[in-house]
Amino acid sequence: MVEQRIKGKAGKKRLSRTRNIGFMAHIDAGKTTVTERILYYTGRTHRMGEVHDGTTVMDWMLQEQQRGITITSAVTTCPWRDSYIHIIDTPGHVDFTIEVERSLRVLDGAIAVFCAVGGVEPQSETVWHQADKYKVPKLAFINKMDRIGADFFRAVEMMVDRLGAKPLLVQLPLGSEDQFKGVVDLIRFKGIIWHEETLGASFSEMEIPQEILPQAEEYRRKLLETVAELDDALTEKYLEGEEFSEEVIKETIRRGTISLNLVPVLCGAALKNKGIQPLLDAIMDYLPSPLDIPPVQGADPRTDHIEERDSSDDQPFCGLAFKIRMDQGRKLTYTRMYSGVLKSGSEVYNPRLRAKERVARIFLMHANHRERLEEARAGDIVALMGLKQTTTGDTLCNEDHPILLEPIDYYKPVMSVAVEPKANRDQDKLVSSLEKLTEEDPTFVVKFDEDTAQTIISGMGELHLEVLIQRLLSDYHVEVNVGRPQVLYRETITKAVKASGRFDRVVEDVRHFAEVTLKLIPNHRGNGLEFGSEIPDGILSGEGLSATQEGVRDASTAGLIMGYPVTDIQTVFLKASFDPENPSMIGLRIAASNAFREGLTEAKPILLEPIMELNVIVPEEFMGEVIGNLKARKGEVESITPKGKIAFVTALAPLKGVFGYSTDLRSMSQGRGTFSMQFSHYDSASEG
């Protein structure tokens, strides 16, 4: 496969036949099953793995197989229609949302998988908006059409209502629930039925059944209207009654998808092996190749001038390290190649570190299996071995043509636990193991508390920390004792105050003097620290204003109540005094820091705690007990939406009140209730 991939195609033709795509969804929507079917039908694997059996290729980690969920994003490559599709399968659980974030940062297109029963679920919204942030074109695949309660059109309506999407139906289901047989292709206007005896590898085309024909004709007309609206020339033809060819329809839908004007919608039942081949065709037909996306932009670190790199082998090398993974003690740096050619054994330049590193080996990844390459080219997603200092979000480039790409956003952890080795001899081993885990996961933070002599680990939630603690044992053979989970609070103020700070000191015969007066104003929840200035123009330089802001940020890292970070404050600088002959940036910074801390003492500080949004799906007969339990946890029920015999409950609850909720919910609902939880906002801490 590698030889064919490297030597069989070159230049623009190779790039035009390449797709870099990812699967994203709410937990249990079936995206890993969809990916497994794709690997089987493209010949990449010779047996179908099942999530419930723990036999999937993409969920290769022990914790993934035990829990039946995706925890870490896995990369693979498969052939289809004389082309290559690089696939990243991302987690659906909110605790591992950094995996989705950094994957979307380097992908050209995404497939959003929705459950036909649940429709657009909470984490579906999160990942959809993450894709919007990076302007990633999307397809939608409505999965599980064979499940009881499946409702294709309701799922499409939810895409409009909850996501603000513009869905374009290119398929309709043939039946639903246990009557789901196949799909109607609205472009070719044919029915497609899969053969169960071949495990869905073969299928037949048929005329559209009479009972669904009027509906199919209606949606075919809607599809053609949408296509005509995207192109003035086609609008004229449509109004004159001319027919559009299949090629024209697909090319126009492709342009609309890439320009983010529409989202093609397909459907199927991956577990029953139905709907996968048309999805593969749609990936090639509608999602962009590296040639279709705008050139990647970054700053020249020497001049700050904005540079561009076209997706071309002929451009200087440029790539983004988007994921670190430890593999049998060796560090693999997953990298998206944006331009140029990278050869095994060559040196790369890291502009953040201002240092060169040598690439010892290059691998094409298939989950946790590696295929060695001699070189990687523009448009590839590969793993590099040998980079010791490079971390997630770093740019790799040619030293003679440096470029610094936009880094990857990280999420702040919301939960902490204390850990200690069960055996004292493992103390050093624990420290080194935790360092390796933090290198892999930017949302995992380790801190040593000198006051209590404890090692504190922080993450995105209970499951996140639980998995990392299990990995300490399974991957690094370190047994630990774990303390009760601790909530990461924040601090803020409730009263507007004015305060002044002063700094006046001689350091190495240089006087550093400044005095800063500022006003602290309580800010809206979630707005963080914001700055304003009423100092007249010309008194304080841009550098001086930056120094005062840095001073405030320094002081905000630890509040006065319990030392938690301070947030949701608007700081307005009113006055700044300094020696005009010798302005001191250090003096301004420390004076502003002193003023901020002085203001905190007078501004009636309070604690803020993380509030989580819970989305519970439970049979209606258990709803009363579930709601009572939420209220006992100081939760507020926002909405209850009945759907048949199932109720969808949305609630807000303090994080400290939902520890162990999954166990309680299983107990209350006889194992039939499910829930997801995601951070909502910080609010005043409740007592008790």
Q: Looking at per-residue confidence, does 639 or 507 come out higher?
A: 639
Q: Which of 416, 401, 295, 395 is nearest to 351 (CA)?
A: 395
Q: Whole-angstrom Cα distance, residue 147 to residue 26?
A: 17
Residue for token digits 């919204």?
A: 125
22-36, 62-76, 95-109: the lowest-pLDDT one: 62-76
Residue 292 neighbours by CB under 8 Å, 6+ apart? 108, 258
Helix (H, G, I), strand (E, B) or coil at 301: coil
pLDDT at 672 over 90: no
Helix (H, G, I), strand (E, B) or coil at 215: helix
DSSP 8-class letter at 538: T
Q: Show the tokens assigned to 630.
A: 């939420």
pLDDT at 5 over 50: no
Q: Show the tokens assigned to 230.
A: 């995207």
Question: Per-residue confidence at 164, pLDDT binned at 50, 70, 90?
Answer: confident
When pLDDT is averaged across residues 25-32 and rounded to a whole number, the result is 81
Residue for token digits 């593969």?
A: 280
- Which segments within 508-549 are labelled E, that is strand? 510-522, 529-533
- What pLDDT score does 70 carry? 54
- What pLDDT score does 3 carry? 42
What are residue 18's DSSP bridge partners?
A: 84
pLDDT at 8 over 50: no
Q: Which of 637, 593, 641, 601 is nearest to 618 (CA)?
A: 641
Give kind and range of the element (H or E) at residue 661. helix 661-668
Q: Which of 356, 194, 351 is nearest to 278 (CA)?
A: 194
> Within 13 Å and on the Cβ side, how many CA atoms surround 452?
11
Give kind and range of the element (H or E) at residue 323. strand 318-327
- What pLDDT score does 402 carry? 94
Q: Show the tokens assigned to 349.
A: 């330049």
- The count of other CB atoms within 10 Å of the CB of residue 135 is 11
594 within 8 A of 629, measured Cβ to Cβ: no
Number of H helices, E strands in the chain: 17, 38
Residue 657 sits at φ, ψ, to 5 deg, of -90, -5
pLDDT at 1 over 60: no
Q: Which of 32, 24, 192, 196 is nearest to 121 (CA)?
A: 24
Convert the pLDDT of each residue in 429-483 to its tens digit: 999 999 988 888 888 889 887 655 678 888 877 778 888 888 888 888 899 998 8
Convert the pLDDT of each residue in 386-396 to its tens digit: 999 998 889 99
User: For residue 606, with 0-12 CB atoms within 10 Å meaning exposed, 13-18 middle and 19 or more buried, which class applies?
Assistant: middle
| Average pLDDT along the chain | 86
pLDDT at 275 over 90: yes
Q: Whole-angstrom Cα distance, residue 676 to residue 614?
A: 6
Convert the pLDDT of each residue in 186-245 to its tens digit: 999 999 999 888 888 889 999 999 999 999 999 999 999 999 999 888 888 888 888 889
Q: Whole-angstrom Cα distance, residue 37 to residue 47?
A: 9
User: Residue type for 546, please?
Assistant: S
Model-level pTM?
Answer: 0.70
Q: Whole-angstrom Cα distance, residue 397 to residue 403?
A: 7
Edge-first strand order for the sheet with 395-397 is 355-358, 347-350, 395-397, 318-327, 330-339, 381-385, 361-366, 369-373
- The count of other CB atoms within 10 Å of the CB of residue 261 is 15
Residue count (the chain): 688
Taking the alpha carbons of 229, 232, 233, 239 in that order, is the dihedral positive or negative? positive
Rounded percentage of the chain residues whose pLDDT exceeds 70: 92
- The count of other CB atoms within 10 Å of the CB of residue 409 is 14
Helix (H, G, I), strand (E, B) or coil at 409: coil
- What pLDDT score does 333 carry? 92
- What pLDDT score does 152 carry? 95
Beta strand 182-185 with 375-377 is unpaired
Q: Whole-angstrom Cα distance, residue 393 to residue 509?
A: 42
Taking the alpha carbons of 430, 433, 439, 441 in that order, is the dihedral positive or negative? negative
168 within 8 A of 663, measured Cβ to Cβ: no
Q: Measured between alpha carbons, how far is residue 459 from residues 125, 262, 676 in Å?
A: 21, 36, 16
Render the burial of 184-199: b for 16+ CB within 10 Å, e for the rest: bbbbeeebbebeeeee
Convert the pLDDT of each residue in 559-596 to its tens digit: 999 888 999 999 999 999 888 878 889 999 999 999 99
Q: Which of 299, 413, 381 is nearest to 102 (CA)?
A: 381
- What pLDDT score does 621 carry? 86
Q: Show the tokens assigned to 418.
A: 């204390």
Residue 286 sits at φ, ψ, to 5 deg, of -115, -30
DSSP 8-class letter at 192: E
37 within 8 A of 113, measured Cβ to Cβ: no
- The count of other CB atoms within 10 Å of the CB of residue 426 is 18
- The count of other CB atoms within 10 Å of the CB of residue 121 is 24
Convert the pLDDT of each residue in 504-516 to its tens digit: 988 888 888 999 9
Question: Per-residue confidence at 552, pLDDT binned at 50, 70, 90?
Answer: very high
Q: Which of 166, 154, 90, 170 is nearest to 121 (CA)?
A: 154
Q: Show the tokens assigned to 137.
A: 């074109």
